[in-house]
């Protein structure tokens, strides 16, 4: 939905949402496809009040160095299956393997797999150099689980 390629950017108060319903009612079978809500490729980017929900890939991908985020809320898609989502290793917040510095505060990953039982291994995936504070996962309702909050 949004890609930040520039450095020294502030992203403030965004809610990036793949529609889980439309004028015909609930969305099923991965309709309304969107892979990623926010992708950050620039260095020295700061995010305040970020939300990405229901995308069909990694919800947030942070590839830039020296990034910081303060409050992130996410919810996995309701209408996916284990084969098209859980087995592919998608996460709610991914920091790229080549990132040497990243810090995040208040990162929440929620699940409500409505239609089938889906297990995702990790809510957050990041290299050891990244620092996360007050991160959590929440099972809202439905089926399946988030096995680990971060990195197993």
Kindly report, residue by residue over 25-82, the tens digit of the pLDDT: 999 888 889 999 999 999 999 999 999 999 999 999 999 999 999 999 999 999 999 9
Task: Give the distance from CA 100 to its chain's centroid.
Answer: 20
Report d(CA 61, CA 37) in Å as an integer.
8
Q: pTM of the full predicted structure?
A: 0.96
Kindly report, residue by residue over 3-28, the tens digit of the pLDDT: 999 999 999 999 999 998 888 899 98
Active site residue 121: no
Kindly report, residue by residue over 86-102, the tens digit of the pLDDT: 999 999 999 999 999 99
Three-state secondary-structure class, residue 61: strand
What are the CA-CA distances from residue 45 to residues 37, 49, 71, 81, 91 (Å)? 16, 13, 14, 33, 20
Q: What is the pLDDT of residue 21?
A: 85
Q: Count CB neighbours of 36 within 10 A.
A: 20
Find the catalytic residue in 53, 75, 103, 121: 75
């Amino acid at each position: 939905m949004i890609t930040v390629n520039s450095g020294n950017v502030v992203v403030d108060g965004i809610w990036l949402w793949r529609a889980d319903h439309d004028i015909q009612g609930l969305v099923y079978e991965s309709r309304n496809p969107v892979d990623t809500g926010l992708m950050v490729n620039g260095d020295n980017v700061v995010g305040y009040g970020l939300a990405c929900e229901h995308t069909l890939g990694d919800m947030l991908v942070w590839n830039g160095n020296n990034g910081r985020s303060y409050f992130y809320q996410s919810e996995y898609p309701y209408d996916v299956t284990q084969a098209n989502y859980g087995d592919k290793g998608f996460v709610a917040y991914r920091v790229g393997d080549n990132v040497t510095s990243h810090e995040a505060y208040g990162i929440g990953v929620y699940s409500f797999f409505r239609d089938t039982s889906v297990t995702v291994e990790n809510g957050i995936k990041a290299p050891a150099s990244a620092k996360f504070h007050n991160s959590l996962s929440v099972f809202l309702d439905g089926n399946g689980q988030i096995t680990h909050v971060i990195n197993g």
